[in-house]
Structure 1
Amino acid sequence: MPIISVASPKGGCGKTTTSITLACELARKGLSVVIVDADPLMWSYKWGELDGRPANIQVIGGVKAEDVAVVAMDAAERVDFVIVDSEGTGNLATANAVGASDLVIIPVQGSAMDGEAGVLTLAMVASEGRKARRVIPAAVVLTRTRHIETRAVKALRERYQELNVQLMHTSIAERAAFNALTDFGGDLVDLPKTEMGSNPMGAMQNAAEFAEEVLEIVQAIMPDYKMEVA
């Protein structure tokens, strides 16, 4: 089954939020998911230890760099989706995760530094693909975006278009609800109302649209894969 790595050498770009949000949306569709937490800080694993984790999501933490690919591939034999939450450095664990992936999602915030980190990740994806003698699909998702698009984000869009990079139509907005997930556990629908921000329905719609676009990408790159979505 599909292995999706969420990767970037830059910390704080939204890898864990992206991983958890995607996992919860897939779980809500009735799909079984394993998150492989390849970050020594284990933020996804710590989220999974809190109350409210959906029953069809398992989080595996404490995975050694040399074991990431094997753990992910083993999990892919028994669940619908595997999501690898990679470390915020371009290290061996990230490279191994990328090499085992069917799709790499690269979270990028609206800054020149994040944009460069995205380019470095794309180079890693290409390098791992050459080693495996295959093309590893990758897509960039803009994170922590605001209602009014900044000049920096517009510049990033233009740069990635020039590089012929797949930039997801759906971005992950800057919302209190997304930030609260790792503090309170569970899914967006489980958060206390006080932590949902001023537009809780907007956050849930944003998450659903992001997951739907990921599924569309997976279906395009793996046309023979049949998903039994509830």
Structure 2
Amino acid sequence: MAIEHWLLPLIVAAFCSIYLLGYFVVFRKWSPKHRPEASSCFMSLFHGTPAVLLAIPALLLPRPVRRFAAPNTGLQSLVLDFSTAYFAVDLLHYLFFIPPQASLYVAHHLAALFVFLTCRYLVAHGAFSILVLLVLAEVTSACENAVTLTGLRKTESAVAAKVHRWVTPAFYAAFTVARGLVGPVFFYKMSAYYLSGKARDVIPAWVSTSWIVVVGGAILGSILWISNLWFNFFRVENNVEMNKAIDV
């Protein structure tokens, strides 16, 4: 049996094991309310940065491969499988543990899986553009997980509260640069190429158009999300400063 036939299920099993390890061992003493989200973050730590480290060499290939319509290489396909497995398991996490209010995350994961699976198994081309976007999406993942985990514990731990206060603006800044500045520029170049029809021989128009819609929606959602976080951050900081002034 070819390696690609069993590699994806194997990676899915690995991420399931990591999630269960977090839920039943690492965070077993945490409150039931926070254990699922903490376990999801724990699993994400084994995806975000590793995915970036895998994707970078997959992108730093000879120029003919660094094109929007280039055929996927073996390493690029591996990265796509790696991220597909993670998003599939994390999707199960949201479906089982998270209330309906998290439907936006479910939609995001379904959209990401659509892009990964069509790129990997349907057209077998275009991984260069998808992996660049993956790097931009996951390069801030470790920092985001630190924000989430410390946020879950900040009311119970002074250390967690201190780390949360320090790491939050750093994450916001990095996310803003990656998703709000670099991401849109690359998205424009990718969209212009696919809409020109240059990739139509290897990537059907409906596939590339779907990628544009999904990625465009994700970038817009990210910009709105981080803008709201910045607004709340400065509002809280302003209230803290006002309270200090009143106390003085």
Same fold (TM over 0.5): no
TM-score when normalising by structure 1: 0.31
Q: Which has the higher helix share?
A: 2
Question: Radius of gyration: which is bigger?
Answer: 2
TM-score w.r.t. length of structure 2: 0.30
Q: Which has the higher contact order (CA 8 A, sep 6+)?
A: 1
Higher strand share: 1
